[in-house]
Homo-oligomer: A and B are copies of this chain.
């Protein structure tokens, strides 16, 4: 059976797609990235807190840190972290790809590659988000737990660093508005503020789904508020 997906859908699959970079394409990608975040959170919520995975072991670090470091080494070998929105949490000593990779069109200002807020994401995830959406408890499935944490961290990081494309599109749409404050080094976070029209409604519907797993309904609104505030802050 031949596959012929909807052309608009396909075109919007990759926000960094060169000349077709547009606010609509970026928004489409952001919505998909948010689905990935919610899938990852739902999967992690199936397991309880499992705190031993986060306490320092013999080697000095926690299982969670060990897993994220090693998983990123493997992903780098496979050719990951070549695009501006794929930013590793531990960028020191990542090996080069061992398999051939395909180049990606450079659509962002070179400065964009140095933008990284993963330290803030790491702290927010482990200190604030994780205790909110996981139940107290220890079922002993530590390896599975930290693999699910890694998926959550990667999804959050990708979505947040996609904000680089938002900034680029907004700048290209009105360079005359943004160039003077950029030269004057004014903080542009407010000017580049980005809201997706149906973002909140999608997030709410997904979070309601989350309730069927481990959370009390009243917690949802707290989680929704924290996550939204965090995502919007970096958009």
CB interface residues, A 163-201, toward B, < 8 Å: none
Main secondary structure of the interface of A (DSSP, over half): loop
Tell me which of B9, B70, B99, B146 contacts A214 (CB under 8 A). Answer: B9
Instruction: Mark A12-55 against chain B: 1 for CB-CB distance below 8 A, else 0.
Output: 01100000000000000000100110010011001110001000
Closest 10 CB pairs of A and B: A102-B140, A78-B143, A80-B143, A79-B143, A39-B39, A5-B214, A5-B135, A63-B99, A3-B135, A70-B74
15 A-B pairs with CB atoms under 8 Å apart are A3-B135, A5-B214, A9-B213, A13-B46, A13-B48, A13-B139, A57-B99, A67-B78, A70-B74, A75-B147, A78-B142, A78-B146, A78-B147, A101-B142, A101-B143
Interface residues of A (CB under 8 A from B): 1-5, 9-10, 13-14, 32, 35-36, 39, 42-43, 46-48, 52, 57, 59, 63, 66-67, 70-71, 74-75, 77-80, 86, 97-104, 132, 134-144, 146-147, 151, 213-216, 219, 222
